Amino acid sequence: MLDVIDLNIEFHDHITPETVVYDFDLHLEKGEIVGIVGESGSGKSMSALAIAGLLSRKHMKKRGQIIFDGVDLLTCSRGVLRKYQGNDICMVFQEPMTSLNPVKRIGWQVGESLRIHTSLTEEQIREKVIKTLADVELDDPEGIYDKYPHELSGGMRQRVMIAAAIICEPKILIADEPTTALDVTVQAQILKLLKRINKTRGTAILFISHDLGVVRSLCERVLVMYRGRIVESGSTGEVFEHPREEYTKRLISAIPKMEKLKDGQ
Amino acid sequence: MDNKVLTVSGLNSYYNVKTDKWGIGTARRQVLKDVSFEIGRGEIVGLVGESGCGKSTLAKCILGMVKDHDGRIEHGSTKMIFQDPYGSLNPAKTVGWILEEPLRIKKELKDPERNKKVSEMIHLVGLDDGFLVRKPGELSGGQRQRICIALALMMEPDLIIADEPVSALDVTVQDQILKLLLKLNRELNIAFLFISHDLKVVYSVCERVMVMKDGMIVEQGSDEQIYRAPEHPYTRQLLAAVIDDPVRDGS
Ligand SMILES: Nc1ncnc2c1ncn2[C@@H]1O[C@H](COP(=O)(O)OP(=O)(O)OP(=O)(O)O)[C@@H](O)[C@H]1O
Ligand SMILES: Nc1ncnc2c1ncn2[C@@H]1O[C@H](COP(=O)(O)OP(=O)(O)OP(=O)(O)O)[C@@H](O)[C@H]1O
Ligand SMILES: [Mg+2]
Ligand SMILES: [Mg+2]
């Protein structure tokens, strides 16, 4: 369904150009859940944004192919891209505050993609938005419908983002650290919801997380990124039981345990 | 206030919320309810609780960012690491400028010394001098979070309120940052109010833990007390999710 071939992303903001993603390859089938883990700054979000068609900054070069439905999203026209964006491919962003519009009400923002891509009436949209807000475990969805982003807590905003991404039933959901601000109980509910959407609608999920426990419980396959490259990939069980790369080994051994930290005195 | 860096007593806080969608009718909704606690010099105190219970609101009250509150709050020099790093860094300035700002204001150090200190700090949070010329928008989520941490540490305050400071960091960096906080706590005697939803992280660094639910502190005590013998059902529920861990096996 989705094929990413040799994706390279390069920035030209500064004197020396900087490549932040090298030769990224990914094949994603309908109904698959693939995890991406890796060091901070290794290029996870950049790859995800590129696939979602949301990376079009000045001073930047992208090479390679991102093929969805037989169309190359890197070279297709803006009009074609817009047809897929926010409809077939949706994204949950790492930092909710930067991607929610501060002056629009939550209900309006969550329903926006329905307004663009479907012909539902305002009444139907409202109903669906409220149902989706309840799906992501928000209490009082009607109350939240009329609120502004700054009136919600960090974890509530994060769930609003998830609601906005799943409401139009995308074929591919890209979730960038979607549960970082949620405590374990809410997180477990959200993961269950994602699994359910994946099972019932066949939504493919690309799940970026630094939480290896979560990746392990959710994803069949995992990619490990390090300094802009995919250094290891395979079935989640295989990669976690028998990591080949040094970085993957370090990552696994650093999983926090319930113990006191020593500051290396 | 001699050996306390923060005293909060009988704190109530309110938000004005709209009661209709035109924003004409408003109601005063109480978020924090009779919150009282103290933090001693050099102490590391954890604050856990479910999403939306009022943790960030408490932090904002302490910093005077929520107007509508009553009760008593006393504190010395206090800095905050915000939950949403993007909004708290000036997007138009470079990282180097942002980190140098508190030193410029203090006027204690000369130019070269300031630069040296900024460079030291950026290495301490696992980044390098190359990042000094970048703007916040040119960083990854975890890199931005570390700039916020560096900024708070730069000021060497008596107390740092850290709201989910390591939530966006992968485990190897998380480990490094937590060790850094402990080191500064030991060397400079900086106290921390450490807000997190991650019980493992809280346990790994905090001496004392407070559990908040619906704007009230429902339980507080030493970490061992809370983790071994939780009294409140919510605390038990949180702990149940990490039950496979050795501490709870009661050894
Ligand atoms: N405009 C830019 N100019 C130059 N480099 C940039 C720019 N934007 C981002 N980068 C760099 O690209 C690299 C990859 O960033 P990305 O956001 O993909 O990381 P990430 O893997 O998502 O990390 P994290 O886990 O911290 O979110 C980072 O090192 C970042 O500093
Ligand atoms: N500016 C505001 N106006 C109105 N209500 C607000 C405002 N800020 C927060 N609230 C409400 O106050 C409650 C507590 O929010 P707070 O941000 O303190 O939660 P939190 O414990 O930090 O949660 P999280 O773990 O999700 O970050 C929430 O119900 C939120 O909707
Ligand atoms: Mg990222
Ligand atoms: Mg918060």
Instruction: Determine the average pLDDT of the residues in B208-231.
Output: 90
Q: Can you tell me the distance from the alpha carbon of A224 to that of A239, in angstroms, rounded to the nearest whole number?
A: 9
Q: Which of B122, B125, B124 is nearest to B134 (CA)?
A: B122
**Which residue's alpha carbon is at the smallest distance from atom 27 of ligand 2?**
A154
| Stretches in chain A below the pLDDT threshold 70 | 57-58, 262-265
Length of chain B: 251
pLDDT classification of B249: cutoffs 50, 70, 90: very low
In Å, how far are B32, B105, B162 from B67, measured between CA atoms? 13, 26, 21
pLDDT classification of B246: cutoffs 50, 70, 90: very low
pLDDT at A3: 96
- Is a pLDDT exceeding 60 seen at residue B5? yes
Q: In A169-245, which residue ranges form alpha helices assigned H by DSSP?
A: 184-201, 212-218, 236-241
Instruction: Determine the average pLDDT of the residues in B9-19.
Output: 89
* CA B211 to ligand 2 centroid distance, Å: 16
Q: Estimate the crossing angle of helix B233-240 against helix A184-201, to 10 degrees.
A: 50
Are residues A151 and B141, on separate chains, in Cβ contact within 8 Å?
no
Do B40 and B5 contact (CB within 8 A), yes or no? Answer: yes
Closest Cα of chain B to A70: distance in Å?
A: 31
Are residues B171 and A255, on separate chains, in Cβ contact within 8 Å?
yes
Q: Does an H or E element contain A60, and which?
A: strand A60-68
Q: Which of B167, B150, B207 is nearest to B51 (CA)?
A: B167
pLDDT at B60: 93
- Is a pLDDT exceeding 50 seen at residue B192? yes
* CA B215 to ligand 2 centroid distance, Å: 10
Q: Return residues 166-195 of B near A (CB < 8 Å).
A: 167-175, 178-180, 182-183, 186
Do A7 and A229 contact (CB within 8 A), yes or no? Answer: no
Report yes or no: B84 at the A interface, CB cutoff 8 Å.
yes
Beta strand B78-81 with A33-38: parallel, antiparallel or unpaired? unpaired
pLDDT at B166: 84
Alpha-carbon torsion B82, B88, B93, B97, what sign?
negative
* CA A139 to ligand 2 centroid distance, Å: 13
Mutate to test the interface with B, among A19, A133, A183, A223 (most CBs of B within 10 A): A183
The ipTM (two decimal places) reads: 0.86
Amino acid residing at B192: F
pLDDT classification of B244: cutoffs 50, 70, 90: very low
pLDDT classification of B116: cutoffs 50, 70, 90: very high
- Is a pLDDT exceeding 60 seen at residue B208? yes
* CA B139 to ligand 1 centroid distance, Å: 5
Q: Which of A34, A40, A78, A6 is nearest to A216 (CA)?
A: A34
Q: Which of A81, A50, A54, A44 is nearest to A64 (CA)?
A: A50
Do A148 and A137 contact (CB within 8 A), yes or no? Answer: no
Closest Cα of chain A to B240: distance in Å?
A: 9
- Is a pLDDT exceeding 80 seen at residue B86? no
Count of alpha carbons within 13 angstroms of residue A181, beta-carbon side: 27
- Is a pLDDT exceeding 60 seen at residue B248? no
Alpha-carbon torsion B130, B132, B133, B137, what sign?
positive
Q: In chain B, which residue ranges form alpha helices assigned H by DSSP?
A: 55-62, 95-106, 111-124, 141-154, 171-188, 199-205, 223-228, 233-240
Q: What is the pLDDT of residues B132-186, one digit of tens each?
A: 999 998 899 889 989 999 999 988 899 999 998 888 788 888 888 898 899 889 9
* The two structure tokens encoding residue B232: 């409140």
Closest Cα of chain A to B9: distance in Å?
A: 23
Ligand 1 atom showing the smallest separation from residue B141 Cα: 27
Q: What is the pLDDT of residues A20-40, one digit of tens each?
A: 999 999 999 999 999 999 988
Mutate to test the interface with A, among B140, B194, B200, B222 (most CBs of A within 10 A): B140
**Residue A18 Cβ contacting ligand 1 at under 6 Å:** yes
Count of alpha carbons within 13 angstroms of residue A234, beta-carbon side: 12
- Is a pLDDT exceeding 50 seen at residue B28? yes
- Is a pLDDT exceeding 70 seen at residue B251? no
